[in-house]
Amino acid sequence: MQTVAVIDEAGYNVIEASNTDEAIAILEKRKDIRIVVTDIEMPGSMDGLKLARAVRDRWPPIELIVTSGRYHVGIDDLPSRAKFMAKPYTSDGLVTALRTMNG
C-alpha cells in the first residue's frame, strides 16, 4: 500500500515531501494544509516524531498522523491530538482516521 495513493484516492489533495526539511518548507509556504502524515523514520534534520512536535508547536490547528513499522509510541510520546498508526495499517483505517480528523 502506498500512503500517497490511498490518500489521493480518498479525495484528498496530497502534497508529498521527501524529507522533514522539505515538509517544514512546504508548511511555511502553504496555509491550506490541514493534516500531516509522517513516518517516524523520515529522513532529514529531524525524524518524523520531532517533525510532528514542530508542526504542533508552529501550526497548532494542523492534525497529525504518525506512523511506523518499527517503533510503537505511546500517547505520552506524541504531541497533543496526534494519532499513531502502526504499520502495516489498512487503507480503510487510514482513510477513517483522515475523515475523523477532517471533520
Write down the domain spans for the chain: 3-102
Across the strands, what pairs with 64?
A: 36
Distances (CA, A) of 11 to 7, 8, 21, 37: 7, 5, 26, 15
CATH topology of domain 3-102: Rossmann fold (3.40.50)
Q: Which residue has the cell 495499517?
A: 89
Average pLDDT estimate for 68-91:
92
**Strands 35-39 and 63-68, bridge-based pairing:** parallel
| pTM of the predicted protein model | 0.93
Q: How confident is the model at residue 10 (pLDDT cuts 50, 70, 90)?
A: very high
pLDDT score for 2: 87
Q: For residue range 82-100, what is the model confidence (pLDDT) as tens digits?
A: 999 999 999 999 999 999 9
Contacts of residue 34, Cβ cutoff 8 Å, sequence gap at least 6: 61, 62, 63, 101, 102
pLDDT score for 75: 87
Q: Which residue has the cell 506524541?
A: 78
Residue 102 has pLDDT above 90, yes or no: no
Residue among 83, 75, 91 nearest 38 (CA): 83
Q: How confident is the model at residue 32 (pLDDT cuts 50, 70, 90)?
A: very high
